[in-house]
């Protein structure tokens, strides 16, 4: 396990600060650090929530900005921005080109964390992917967010280049299934269950992933930044347990009193289980077991029926 950097009192830049992961991360970090957040902030309520948490918000459009409106003196940069317009030209510009321009602007930072995705892996049944496994289009073949995997792979290439070009220590962390009390794929599945609709799962069952709780996402940031290097460090960012959609939905049904049905289909992503050996060597074990995390999620929604 690597000794984490201490983010308290540092000046941080968080991109994608209105996203499901970027927003709660920025709010948590603002408890002890000076956090700047950039996004388009098309929803005033999202900006207001961040500002009430002590985050300084700046309106920046990744598709058009060169980031010169921002200061250069950030200690660390946490890049959670992602564009999913399904237009390849726009998404490559916003995810790839913008990342390169941002890393150039913040080349003096101590370290840069780029949040990638396990959606970069070439589908391969139920193997647990290691960081050196083949990459491929994990989404488009299944009719699901057609630009996502390719844009994510392109962004990784840009991050690898920029780390070397600007001598900027960088970690590329491939995030699995993030969730917390008020966001995440399990929450979406719970909504389907409550509406009496089937939960999509791939016909090549079970659909296995490594869900990771917000507590462990935030808790591992210091270690992931400490592991940043030139060339870039690449690591799976995932929970300790491999859990299937079928399994976590059954548990959600158990603790909410809802019933669950599944809709097997070839038009959804296959399993993307991860080997987390490298991540554990950097950040140590996760602290929130998936059942505990889902129980907290259900309790936060006021839907817990089992004592």
Residue pLDDT, tens place only, 281-294: 999 999 999 999 99
Which long-range contacts does 31-38 make (Cβ < 8 Å, 24+ apart)? 32/7, 32/8, 33/7, 33/8, 33/9, 34/9, 34/10, 36/11, 36/12, 36/70, 36/74, 37/13, 38/13, 38/14, 38/70, 38/81
Which DSSP symbol is given to 94?
I
- Can you list the alpha helix ranges (DSSP code H) found in 87-147? 88-92, 98-105
The residue extents of the domains of the chain are 11-300
| Phi, psi values for residue 290, rounded to 5° | -60, -35
Give percent of the chain above pLDDT 70.
Answer: 98
How confident is the model at residue 125, as a pLDDT?
Answer: 85
How confident is the model at residue 142, as a pLDDT?
Answer: 62
CA distance 205 to 175: 22
- How many Cβ atoms are within 10 Å of 250's Cβ, its own excluded? 12
Window from 21-25, 67-71, 138-142, 269-273 with minimum mean pLDDT: 138-142
Token pair, residue 280, equals 């554990």
pTM of the model: 0.96
Q: What is the pLDDT of residues 146-168, one digit of tens each?
A: 889 999 999 999 999 999 999 99
CA of 7: how far to CAs of 10, 16, 23, in Å? 5, 19, 17
CATH architecture label of 11-300: 3-Layer(aba) Sandwich (3.40)
How confident is the model at residue 306, as a pLDDT?
Answer: 67
């Amino acid at each position: 396990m690597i000794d984490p950097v201490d983010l308290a009192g540092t000046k941080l830049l968080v991109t994608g600060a209105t996203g499901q992961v970027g927003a709660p991360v920025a709010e948590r970090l603002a408890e002890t650090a000076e956090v700047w957040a950039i996004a388009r902030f098309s929803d005033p309520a999202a900006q207001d929530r961040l500002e009430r948490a002590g985050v300084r918000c700046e309106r920046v459009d990744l598709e058009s900005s060169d980031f010169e409106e921002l200061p250069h003196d950030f200690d660390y940069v946490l890049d959670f921005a992602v564009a999913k317009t399904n237009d390849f030209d726009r998404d490559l510009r916003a995810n790839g080109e913008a990342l390169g321009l941002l890393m150039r602007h913040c080349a003096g930072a101590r370290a840069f964390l780029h949040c990638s995705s396990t959606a970069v892996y070439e589908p391969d049944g139920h193997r647990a992917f290691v960081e050196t496994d083949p990459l491929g289009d994990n989404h488009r073949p299944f009719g699901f967010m057609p630009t996502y995997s390719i844009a994510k792979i392109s962004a990784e290439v840009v991050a690898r280049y920029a780390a070397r070009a600007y001598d900027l220590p960088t970690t590329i962390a491939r995030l699995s299934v993030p969730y917390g009390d008020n966001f995440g794929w399990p929450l979406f599945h719970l909504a389907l269950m409550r509406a009496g609709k089937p939960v999509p799962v791939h016909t090549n069952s079970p659909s296995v992933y490594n869900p990771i709780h917000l507590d462990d996402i935030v808790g591992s940031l210091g270690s992931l930044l400490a592991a940043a290097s030139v060339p870039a460090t690449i690591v799976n960012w995932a929970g300790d347990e491999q859990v299937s959609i079928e399994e976590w939905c059954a548990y959600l049904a158990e603790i909410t009193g809802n019933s669950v049905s599944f809709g097997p289909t070839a038009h959804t992503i296959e399993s993307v289980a991860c080997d987390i050996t490298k991540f554990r060597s950097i950040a140590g074990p996760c602290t929130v077991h998936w059942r505990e995390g889902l129980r907290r999620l259900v309790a936060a929604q006021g839907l817990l029926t089992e004592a």
